[in-house]
A and B are shown apart, each in its own frame.
Chain A
Amino acid sequence: MEGQNNTMQPMDNDITLNEDKAQVEALFGKKALTQFEEAQQATSDAFFDIQAAQILAGLNQKKKAKIYRISSFRKLAIAASFIIFIAATYIFIESKKQNEFAKVKIEEIPTDEIDNYLVSNDWENELDWENTTLKEDAHIETLSNTILKDSN
């Protein structure tokens, strides 16, 4: 039955196709329709060969362009990611250093280390000068206190 249906289908289609075509031909005539179709098909003999060659050439160009674009894009992407990686590492290390420095309290630093640091930076003299100033200030204060007591 299935085979019969398959063989019947094209016949049915042929009948309806002929009916459908006849409706149009009744309106315009077969000649006008044939001429219309001939006008659509009026191309030079070589047209389709040229068109095929153009399509294939276009595809080859596209393929080449595509390969070039992908490789240059990859190169750029690799270079960009490398630069980003280096920059990110540098920023990370620097910020970590700063944080560590900020976190250390003065009480936690051994005195020897501070002394060494001051010696190496020639800050000792400055420190002595500060001590001398402090001592002199204290001496002036005791003197003024004695004068006040005497006056009383």
Chain B
Amino acid sequence: MTDTTTAQSGTDEGDLLAGFEATIARNDRIEPRDWMPEGYRKTLVRQVAQHAHSEIIGMQPEGNWIGRAPSLRRKAILLAKVQDEAGHGLYLYSACETLGVSRGQLTEMLIEGRQKYSSIFNYPTLSYADVGTIGWLVDGAAICNQVPLCRTSFGPYGRAMIRICKEESFHQRQGYELLMTMMRGTDEQRAMVQESVNRFWWPALMMFGPPDDESPNSAQSMAWGIKRNTNDDLRQRFVDMSVPQAEALGVTFPDPDLRWNEERQAHDFGQPDWDEFMQVVKGNGPCNTQRIAHRRAAHEDGAWVREAATAYAASSAAEVSA
């Protein structure tokens, strides 16, 4: 709105806001062409873009192992999984574009470091067991985060999440099955699994974001129905789900404070190193530079393909109209 806004249009905006809030209060969905407060749109662009970027960057740590997976079966599974991550990124970019930004702009913002992606993908995949651990714990944590997002207030985001959640289940199960197979192997293979779980447990807990009292955007996002649960609630849910899975697998989590609390009917557990989390978010994690450099190279090296396809489409269109 400009400075010349009249009292009349001020009232209109008030009506629009009331309509928007009534839709949220009814637990109904906001659709792309509905009026929405600028803060709601901005928050969604930031969250959905960050989510899309995480899927795209998330292809790298595992893509690393496709050529080295130990059998054709494992290669095919991993290839399908990494292809899904690309698909998930595209569903989410598609949802984000309904908010008035283009995928090209989002890609530019990612490779220029103006938008973020999940801190978990800045950790390296040092052994093949990491492929299993990522499926089990990292995708497991993602599922915990994503299932409530199927009911998020913005329609296109919720619909993308429904598609993604259907496919994530395959990701988690293939990872767990991979680890079960290794646990039935040699002592050395079992040690590989435990070592991998030790490295990924704390970063997986960090995926839910900072504790509630240090999460500045959470309250507004929950009021708008963008988020449905707090970071700490989801983290607790994830820990409670993971403990029996670890027992069945025969591994432990590297947390001396982890124990069942009969009174709360939930597990007590220690806090991740939040200073490390902030460092990784700020770009100082083990692989931040490498991940962005790789994404930038893929984007720039692929430019000629995009240009050639555009030129081909233009010449075919010209032939048809000639």
Q: Do A and B actually bind? A: no
Chain A contact residues, CB within 8 Å of chain B: none
